[in-house]
Amino acid sequence: METQKPKKAGYQIDMVHGPLAGKILLFALPLMLSSLLQLLFNAADVVVVGRCAGKEALAAVGSTSALINLLVNLFVGFSVGTNVVVARDLGAGREEDVRSSVHTAIAIALISGVFLTVLGVTMARRLLVWTASAPDVIDLAAIYLRIYFAGMPANMLYNFGAAILRAQGDTRRPLYYLFIAGVTNVALNLLFVIVFRMSVAGVALATIISQIISALLVLSCLMRDTGVLHLDLKALRMDKKVVKRILQVGLPAGFQGIVFSLSNVVIQSSVNSFGSTAVIAGSSASANIESFVYVSMNSFYQTDLTFTSQNYGAGECRRVDRSLILCQIYAVAFGLVLGNLAVYFGHPLASIYAPGEEAVIAQAALRLKYVCSLYCLCGIMDVMVGALRGLGYSIVPMIVSMVGACGVRLLWVATIFQHFRTPEMLFLSYPVSWTITAAVHIAFFFYIRKRAYAKCGIHGMRPDDLPPEKGK
C-alpha cells in the first residue's frame, strides 16, 4: 500500500505518491488547453491576414509554415530532453543536478534561438527558393520569415522554460502565459494589419511581440521560484554532462519531428497530384480539424513522458506501468470520442472553412472518415513513445517512428497508391502506419522493460545508468 504524502504546494503535482488517475488529468488538461488555444490563435492569424490583407498575404504566410516547422522541430526536441532530465532529477531528489539542468537548459535555449535567428534572417529568401515558393508571394514570404525568425530566442526560451515547469507538474502557469500572449497577438494583429496596414510584416511583428511576452513571463516565474527550479541569469552555464543527457533524448526527438514534417510534405504532394482544387482544399480543411483531435491525445504523450521520468528517477517502476496504462486509456478515450465527433459533424465543421463549397466539404468529410475515426491509434503510438523516452530510450523510438509512421507512408505512396490512385487509398495510409508503428513500440517496450526495471529501487539513477540501446 502506497503512503499518501502531503499535497505539494502551489502549482506542483506530487507524481511519485498517491493515486495517479486524477493527477494525470490535472496535468494533461492544461496541456491540452494550451495546445487548443495555440491552434485557435494561429487560426485567428490566418483569418485576420486573409480577410484584411488579401490572398497574396495569406498565401505568403501559409507557404512558410512547413519551412518553419522543419527548422524549429529539431530545437523544440531539445526541450523534450530538458523535461525528461529535470523530471528524472526531481524524482530522484538530486537537487544540485536539478539546478544545473535548469541553468544549462536556459543557456541551450538562448544559443538555439540565436542560431535560428541568424539562419532565418540571413537565409530567408534562399530557403524559400529551395522549397519552391511561388514567385508571386516569395517577396512577402521572405519579409514574414525574417521578422518571424528575429523572435526565435523568445520562442525557444518559452518552450524550454515551460518544459522545466512541466517537469515538476506545473502545466497551469504555462497555460496562463500562453493565453496572455495569444490575446496580445490577436489584438496586435488587428492593430498592425487593419489600422496600420502592415500586411505580413504586421502579423509577424505581432507574433514575435507575443512570444517575447510569454518568454518574459516564464523566465520571471523561474527567477521568482524559491525552490530548486530557481533561475539566476548570472549563473547560466553549459554543463557538459547535462548537455549530453539532454541531447540523448532531445536529438532523436527533434530528428523525428523533422522526418515527420518531410513525410507530410510528400503526402501533401500526393494530394496535390489529383489536380483538383476541391480535393486539395478539402484535405487542408480536414487537416485543420484533425489537429484539434491530435493535440488532445498528444497531451497524454507529454503527460506520460513526465510521469514516467519522475517515477523512474524515484525507483517507482510500478507507477511507471500504471501511468502508461492510464495515459493510454485517456488517449484512446479522447481519440475515439473527439475523432468520431469530428466525423459525425464533418459537414458543418468543414463548411466553416469553405462555406457553400459542397465539393470541398465532401472531400473534407471523406478524409475525416478515414483519418479521425481511427485517430486513437495515433494516440496509442505517441503515448508509447512518451513512456520509452521517459525511461531514457529515445533512439530506437525515433527509428521505429521514422520507419513505421513515415517510411510506411512513403512506401504506400510509391506502391499501393500508384495502383489505386484515389483519395481514399491515400488517406488509408495513416491508420495503417499508426497500427504498425504502435505495435512495434509496444513490443520494444516489453523487450526493454525487464532490463530497465532492474534498476528500480536504486535511488539516484541517471540516464547514463541505463542498459545501452542498440545502435549507441
pLDDT of residue 276: 62
CA distance 380 to 437: 10
Residues 6+ apart with CB under 8 A from 103: 231, 232, 235, 236, 237, 239
pLDDT band at 357 (very low <50, low <70, confident <90, very high): confident
Residue 241 has pLDDT above 90, yes or no: yes
The total of other beta-carbon atoms located within 10 Å of residue 15's CB is 29
Residue 205 has pLDDT above 90, yes or no: yes
Residue 27 has pLDDT above 90, yes or no: yes
Tell me the three cell numbers of residue 370.
478515414
* Average confidence (pLDDT) over 64-93: 85
Give tens-digit pLDDT for 155-169.
Answer: 999 999 999 999 999
Residue 49 has pLDDT above 50, yes or no: yes
Residue 4 has pLDDT above 50, yes or no: no
pLDDT of residue 405: 76
* Average confidence (pLDDT) over 139-144: 89
CA distance 8 to 223: 20
pLDDT of residue 163: 93
Residue 186: φ, ψ to 5°: -65, -45
* Average confidence (pLDDT) over 46-63: 72
**Residue reference for cell 495510409:** 429
Give tens-digit pLDDT for 303-350.
Answer: 999 999 999 988 899 999 999 999 999 999 999 999 999 999 999 988
pLDDT of residue 380: 96
The total of other beta-carbon atoms located within 10 Å of residue 196's CB is 11
pLDDT band at 470 (very low <50, low <70, confident <90, very high): very low
**Residue from 388, 328, 299 nearest 30 by CA:** 299
Higher confidence at residue 359 or residue 238?
A: 238
Return the minimum-mean-pLDDT range out of 99-103, 104-108, 125-129: 125-129
pLDDT band at 464 (very low <50, low <70, confident <90, very high): very low
Higher confidence at residue 470 or residue 198?
A: 198
Which H or E run contains 79?
helix 65-92
459 burial (CB, 10 Å; 0-12 / 13-18 / 19+) is: exposed
Return the minimum-mean-pLDDT range out of 8-12, 125-129, 280-284: 8-12
Residue 111: CA count within 13 A, CB half-sphere: 12
pLDDT of residue 40: 81
Handedness of CA 130, 134, 140, 145 (dihedral sign): negative
CA-CA distances (angstroms) from residue 359 to 16, 100, 143, 166?
Answer: 53, 57, 34, 44
Task: Based on DSSP, count helices (H) and strands (E) in the chain, helices before strands.
Answer: 19, 0
Which H or E run contains 259?
helix 240-272
Give tens-digit pLDDT for 376-407.
Answer: 999 999 999 999 999 988 888 889 888 887 88
Residue 6 has pLDDT above 50, yes or no: no
* Average confidence (pLDDT) over 360-372: 90
CA-CA distances (angstroms) from residue 166 to 30, 90, 146, 170?
Answer: 10, 11, 31, 5
Q: Are 53 and 113 in contact (CB under 8 A)?
A: no
pLDDT band at 37 (very low <50, low <70, confident <90, very high): confident
pLDDT band at 62 (very low <50, low <70, confident <90, very high): low
Chain mean position to CA 237 = 26
Residues 6+ apart with CB under 8 A from 345: none
Computed over every residue of the chain, the mean pLDDT equals 86
pLDDT of residue 460: 41
Higher confidence at residue 3 or residue 410?
A: 410
pLDDT of residue 456: 63
Chain mean position to CA 464 = 26
pTM beyond cutoff 0.75:
yes
Residue 11 has pLDDT above 90, yes or no: no
pLDDT band at 72 (very low <50, low <70, confident <90, very high): confident
Q: Quick one: what percent of the chain has pLDDT higher than 90?
A: 51
Query: What is the widest separation between alpha-carbon atoms in the chain?
Result: 67
pLDDT band at 272 (very low <50, low <70, confident <90, very high): low
3-class SS at 234?
Answer: helix
